[in-house]
Amino acid sequence: MTDITIYHNSRCTKSRQTLELLGEEGVEPVVVDYQKTPPPAEELDRICAMLGKEPLEITRTQEKLFKELGLSKQDDRSREEWLRILTENPKLIERPIVVHGERAAIGRPPESVRSIL
């Protein structure tokens, strides 16, 4: 399986556990440190569609940065605005996200990615 990508944060326990689980499953994913190389808005939009979620639903609303930016879960922002915010502030993107072809899963818990392998 070579068409698997993990949007990874090596400082995150769940992200490390998900990467380890993929290895145990014999998967060698493309590892993207999304904080250094955030997905462009178009790719993030595609990932949201695969997850069946709106951008706000993959936003880490408990991050200090979320409040520092003056954001709120009740903000009346467009999908495009949320995608721009996430692209410009990748720390706010939920992690890890694993993409396999046209399917995606958030590794919380890590075992949830098995559904797309």
Residue 76 burial (CB < 10 Å; 0-12/13-18/19+)?
Answer: exposed
Query: pLDDT per residue over 64-114, tens digit each?
Result: 999 999 999 999 999 999 999 999 999 999 999 999 999 999 999 999 999
**Separation CA 84–CA 82 (nearest Å):** 5
Strand partners, 8: 33
Matching residue, tokens 């408990």:
62
How confident is the model at residue 1, as a pLDDT? 46
Catalytic residue among 3, 12, 73, 104: 12
Please give the domain boundaries of the chain with CATH numbers for all domains.
Answer: 4-116 (3.40.30.10)
Indicate if 48 belongs to the active site.
no
- Specify the pLDDT at position 101: 94
Rounded to two decimals, the pTM is: 0.94
